[in-house]
């Protein structure tokens, strides 16, 4: 099998996999990063979202061979238990997660938005998160969490 060196959370990680192996499988199975979740496997739900060069990317349909030297960022690199990222903190404070399955994708998509647009409008937040599905219906809380994080990050 071919070898690939992936730039994951600021660290070069070597894997030996088939070229069409989805990034999600590598992150979860080989690198033991469990932030990105398997949801639909069809790029429709957003649970597997990671950032690739700062852009939200569905890792379930992203072949390892397409990545090259691009920088991959997962939820694990945003914060720690002792020092949460403002988005993680805001999601907790707003109780934006019910079952929590979609939270990875919501936070990663919101991070990409806030990196590009530090003071987004409610409409911009909704547009950025529109492709991330939540079956529990916590969308209003998610929007409030992103607004809260934006205020904290701008301060």
User: What values do phi and psi take at 9, rounded to 5?
Assistant: 55, 40
| pTM, 2 dp | 0.95
Residue 123 CB neighbours (<10 A): 8
d(CA 119, CA 117): 6
**CATH classification of 3-77 is 3.30.420.40, yes or no?**
no
7's tokens: 């730039």
10's tokens: 């600021």
Residues of the chain with pLDDT under 50: none
pLDDT at 155: 82
Q: Tell me the CATH number for domain 86-154.
A: 1.10.150.120
d(CA 115, CA 25): 26
Domain boundaries of the chain, sorted by first residue: 3-77, 86-154
């Amino acid at each position: 099998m071919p070898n690939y060196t992936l730039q994951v959370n600021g660290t070069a990680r070597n894997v030996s996999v088939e070229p069409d192996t989805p990034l999600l499988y590598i992150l979860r199975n080989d690198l033991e990063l469990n932030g990105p979740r398997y949801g639909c496997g069809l790029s429709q739900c957003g649970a597997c979202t990671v950032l690739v060069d700062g852009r939200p990317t569905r890792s379930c349909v992203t072949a390892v061979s397409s990545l090259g030297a691009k920088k991959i960022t997962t939820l694990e690199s945003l914060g720690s238990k002792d020092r949460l990222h403002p988005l993680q903190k805001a999601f907790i404070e707003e109780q934006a997660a019910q079952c929590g399955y979609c939270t990875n994708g919501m936070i990663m998509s919101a991070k990409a938005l806030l990196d590009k647009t530090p003071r987004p409008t409610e409409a911009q937040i909704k547009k950025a998160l529109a492709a991330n599905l939540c079956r529990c219906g916590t969308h209003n809380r998610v929007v409030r969490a992103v607004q809260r994080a934006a205020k904290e990050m701008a301060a």
